[in-house]
Each structure stands twice: as structure tokens, then as C-alpha cells.
Amino acid sequence: MTHLLRSYDRGVLRVTINRPAKRNALARETLRELRAVFAAHAAHAELRLALIAGAGDLAFCAGADLLELQAARAPEEAAAIADEGAAALDAVRSFPVPTVAALNGFALGGGAELALACDLRVAAPHARIGFTHAELALTSAWGGGPDLVHAVGTASALELLASARVLPAEAARAVGLVQHVAPREAPFVAFVDRLAAMIAGRPPHLLRAFKALVLAARRGADPDALRAVERDGFERAWGADAHRAAIEAWAAARS
């Protein structure tokens, strides 16, 4: 049985971790499927956006499947687990268009790492997020630690890692871990879909240019390299039909 549900429609890739009985924990097979799904869709010409969620309304992802992974005790096995998880989350990080984590419940440990691998995070009012690795005398291993530092800064990242605090949705938004919290009166799926539609309404080449700039910054590109990425995106956008149509519409509205 597949660990992921996936669909692709009108440029939007939707991926749901489908292990509700395990609180959508990430087994090694889940990680392999995640990497394969994102790799398979990256080259689609009309690609605009990817959404990741968890099945049900309790958990986005409870982290690694510890019952499975505890069978691996040797150092080389631990290294393999770290490498497999990092490769899966890197496929999300490097996806060529924006990625959104829909936090429909708690995101803990490796689940928080998966959420931070995405470009944006949208939380249900009851959602919580925490880098809880220290509770199990572990560190992050899948690139989530550097992502956390990038998101909240060194001091806050250290505090969150060492304390293993689990933040409610609004507290997570206040420190920059979450960009949007859905209102309690709004169905969460509808709220996420409205955000997705706003982003996916842009032309694919424009979204790829925006993501290329953000990804270069995330990878530590120097200012000159960032300017080059920005300039390349501008050149491509300037000559595209979408820009000409937008200019014609702008001019017609003012005539």
C-alpha cells in the first residue's frame, strides 16, 4: 500500500501522507516515495505549486517512524537514515516552484523538518509545530536544523532545538515558522485552496523565477549571484506573452 496519495491538476501537485494510524509518521518507504514523487513532477512545463498535507485532522506528520527505525543501531545505518531523509526533503526544498505545507495537525521532529523544507507553511488553528528531537536525545538530521536557523535566526533556533518546545499555531506564526493561520470559522482545506489558487494563478515561468531566487538565497548565494538570478528571471519574464498581455490590459484600463 502506498504511503502517499498524490494528484496533479492544472499545475498543482498535491501530496498527502496517508498513514493516519501512524499519525503520518515517515517510514523509510514514505521517504523514498516522497523523493520519487517530487522528482517525477519537477520537469512538468505547466507546474505551478506543490501542496503537502497529512491524512486526517490530527497530524501533519508525527516525525520519523521510530518503531521501524529503531531496528537500525549501527553507525552506518544511522548515517543511511540521515542521508535518505535528507535526500527526500531536498527533493522538496529544490522543487522548482513554490511548496506549501498545510499543517492540518501537529508537526513534530522529522515532521517539523518536512514542514520547514517547504517554502511556506499554513496552519490550522489547532496545529502545533516543534523540533522535539531533544526529547529523544537526538538532533535533527534531514536538513531541518539549518532550515530552522534560516527561518528564525541562530538564537531562537538554538532555544527551540534545546528546549524541544512545541509551539501552537499563532505562536509559530509570531516567530516566523508559519506564514498563515486559518481562522477557526473557515474550513481549513478551503483556506489552503484559496492561498494555493492565488499563487497558482501566476504564470509557471514567473513562479520558477521567484523560486530560483529564494532557493539561491537559501543555499547561501552571495549578493552578486543573487542579482544574476534575479536578472535572468526578469529577462525571461520581459519577453514572455504573459507580460505583453498584462501591459496591454494595463494600458486599456487607463485609456
pLDDT the model gives residue 77: 79
Residue 69 reports pLDDT greater than 80:
no
Q: Are 50 and 100 in contact (CB under 8 A)?
A: yes
> What confidence category does residue 108 fall into, taking pLDDT thresholds of 50, 70 and 90?
very high
Which pLDDT tens digit goes with each residue over 18-31? 999 999 999 999 99
Q: How many residues does the chain have?
A: 255
What does the buried/exposed string (b/e) look like for 41-77 if buried means 16 or more CB atoms within 10 Å of the residue's CB?
beeeeebbbbbbbbbbeebbbbbbbeebbeeeeeeee
Q: Which of 97-101, 137-141, 241-245 is predicted most confidently?
A: 97-101
174 & 208 share domain: no
C-alpha span between 29 and 45 (Å, rounded)? 28
pLDDT the model gives residue 195: 95
Which residue, among 112, 102, 116, has the nearest Cα to 181 in the 3D structure? Answer: 102
User: Using alpha carbons only, what angle is made at residue 193 by residues 250 and 181, rounded to the nearest 5 degrees?
Assistant: 105
**Host domain of residue 237:** 204-253
86 & 209 share domain: no
Which pLDDT tens digit goes with each residue over 170-179? 999 999 999 9
Range 112-131 average pLDDT: 98
pLDDT the model gives residue 66: 81
pLDDT the model gives residue 51: 98
Range 112-130 average pLDDT: 98
pLDDT the model gives residue 72: 64
| Alpha-carbon 52 to chain mean position | 7
pLDDT the model gives residue 134: 97
Residue 70 reports pLDDT greater than 80:
no
17 & 37 share domain: yes
User: Using alpha carbons only, what angle is made at residue 56 by residues 128 and 186, rounded to the nearest 5 degrees?
Assistant: 70
> How confident is the prediction for the chain on average, in pLDDT?
95
pLDDT the model gives residue 68: 74
Which pLDDT tens digit goes with each residue over 211-237? 999 999 999 999 999 999 999 999 999
192 & 210 share domain: no
83 & 192 share domain: yes
66 & 120 share domain: yes
182 & 141 share domain: yes
72 & 166 share domain: yes
146 & 215 share domain: no
Say what percent of the chain tops pLDDT 70. Answer: 98
79 & 162 share domain: yes
pLDDT the model gives residue 1: 60
Grid cell listed for 140 = 535533527
Residue 5 reports pLDDT greater than 90:
yes
pLDDT the model gives residue 67: 77
The three-class DSSP label of residue 102 is strand
Range 193-218 average pLDDT: 96
pLDDT the model gives residue 194: 96
Cα 16 to Cα 38, 57, 59, 79, 127: the distances in Å are: 12, 12, 11, 27, 16
Range 103-116 average pLDDT: 98
CATH number reported for the structural domain that contains residue 122 in this entry: 3.90.226.10
In the chain, how many domains are there?
2
What does the buried/exposed string (b/e) look like for 189-199 if buried means 16 or more CB atoms within 10 Å of the residue's CB?
eebbbebbeeb
- If one compares 1 and 32, the residue with the highest pLDDT of the two is 32
162 & 40 share domain: yes
> What confidence category does residue 76 fall into, taking pLDDT thresholds of 50, 70 and 90?
confident
37 & 66 share domain: yes
Range 125-154 average pLDDT: 96
Grid cell listed for 48 = 505551478
